[in-house]
Chains A and B, each alone.
Chain A
Amino acid sequence: MEIIVPLIAATLCVWGLIKRINIFESFVEGVKEGMRTVVFIAPTMIALLLAVGMLRASGLLTWIAETIRPAAEAVGFPAELVPMGLLRPVSGSGASAILLGIYEDYGADSFLAKCASVVAGSTETTFYAVTMYYSAAGITKIRHTLVSALLADFTAIVLSVVTVSLFLS
């Protein structure tokens, strides 16, 4: 699987040469666009990552997770997945850390590990993606994007438990 990325790169180069395109110039032109994009999205990204970092450092996220826990248990939702669900939309690395923690504590083939893996595999770092894509287009009024995106994340967390119980246990 690791070979796929260099393979694509090489295929593109060979194809370009066959089509008699100056692939070096094309590549450099693309890198220029990439550079410009980075500079353009950087300020927004720094602002948002700062806010997310503060949210985590203040302990507010952990506190919310603890508050939701009894409610989650009451409806039969595994409480260990609550921190994962809360962290997943705001921090990719934070969610990965929780995922690995679950693998270590309960085993990679446990029910919890499967649920957490499904959550990780069917969601993205929502806040990061929303910020990045909209800042590239200079959009400041995002309307109901965040509501719908978070609803999708919530659906994914609930369904991870449902599908794993249906198909894998």
Chain B
Amino acid sequence: MAYVFGAMIAGSLAFSLFSGNAEALSEGMMESAESAVTLLISISGMLCVWSGFMRIAKDCGLIDRLSRLCAPLLRRLYPDVDVESDAFRYIAMNISANLLGLGNAATPLGLNAMKELKKQNPTNVASDSMLTFVLMNTASIQLLPTTIAVLRKSYGSQQPFDILICVWLTSALALTAGLVSAKLLNRRKAWRSSSRLSPRRCASGG
């Protein structure tokens, strides 16, 4: 993350000097800092309210029920997570909320899921389950893209929902691409680190 951050800032500076709009850059810096805080304040309202309602859902036992419903499918995606754990429950709820297009409700559930996953993995390195979970949240998996349909309608579209099949296919395949690539990269790294580790293991054994 440090490299991404550094590259973004250094790259912006280098390019703005090169293209001569350093003034726009410093203005953009101030503006984005300001809008970052505004954004945080505006999401915190929704986040708190949904956290509140989701807490009621949890105390009602609703989260348990939903996670049992999703368990057969999700168990395959998260082999390391116990089906009876809170982490699994929050993952199930987050994904259900995403499917229903309730992004605002999904976010606090997802953040709770990450905190629970952290308890099983008390390091600062992302675990496989965390990776899978974040990938499922960076891909949009909602069933009805209502916001886009509303926008299209307001711009005079005759059938704002005609893109539905395309959206389903595209998002399903994009998520698959993300998950499969993660699996492959994982395997390559696991292989590399095990081959690197084995001589050391021999040395300490001897």
Contacts and interface: CB of A to CB of B under 8 A. Distances in A.
Q: Is B one of A's binding partners?
A: yes
Interface of A: 1, 4-5, 8-9, 12-13, 15-16, 19, 21, 23, 26-31, 33-35, 37-38, 41-42, 45-60, 63, 96, 99-100, 103-104, 107-109, 113-114, 117-124, 126, 129-134, 136-149, 151-153, 155-156, 159-160, 163-164, 167-168
A109 B40 contact: no
B37 interface: yes
Contacts of B131: 142-145, 148
B173 A138 contact: no
A153 B115 CA distance: 26
Contacts of A121: 140, 142, 145, 148, 163, 167, 170-171
B29 interface: yes
A31 B158 CA distance: 41
B81 interface: no
Interface string B141-179: 010011010011101111110110111011101110111
A23 B48 CA distance: 15
A167 B165 contact: yes
A63 B15 CA distance: 9
A60 B16 CA distance: 8
Given A41-B111, A117-B167, A123-B174, 11 more contacts: A9-B53, A30-B108, A33-B112, A48-B5, A63-B15, A109-B156, A121-B171, A124-B137, A136-B111, A137-B130, A151-B177
Given A27-B55, A132-B111, A163 B170 contact: yes
Nearest to B178: A152
B60 A49 contact: no
Given A124-B137, A137-B114, A58 B15 contact: yes
A118 B53 CA distance: 31
A134 to B, nearest CB: 7
Contact of B134 (A8, A107, A133): A133
A107 to B, nearest CB: 7
Size class of the contact patch on chain B: 35 or more
Interface of B: 1-2, 4-5, 8-9, 11-13, 15-16, 19, 21, 24-25, 27-29, 31-33, 35-37, 39-40, 43-44, 47-62, 100, 102, 104-105, 107-108, 110-112, 114-115, 117-118, 124-126, 130-131, 133-135, 137-140, 142, 145-146, 148, 151-153, 155-160, 162-163, 165-167, 169-171, 173-175, 177-179, 181-182, 185-186, 189
Nearest to A131: B1
A113 B155 CA distance: 11
A19 B60 contact: yes
Contact of A141 (B50, B117, B126, B175): B126
Nearest to A118: B166
B54 A129 contact: no
Nearest to B164: A121
A144 B2 CA distance: 14
28 contacts: A21-B56, A26-B58, A29-B55, A30-B53, A30-B54, A41-B111, A42-B40, A49-B39, A51-B12, A53-B35, A57-B28, A58-B15, A109-B152, A113-B152, A119-B170, A121-B145, A123-B140, A124-B139, A132-B107, A134-B1, A137-B118, A137-B130, A139-B114, A141-B124, A144-B181, A149-B138, A156-B174, A163-B166
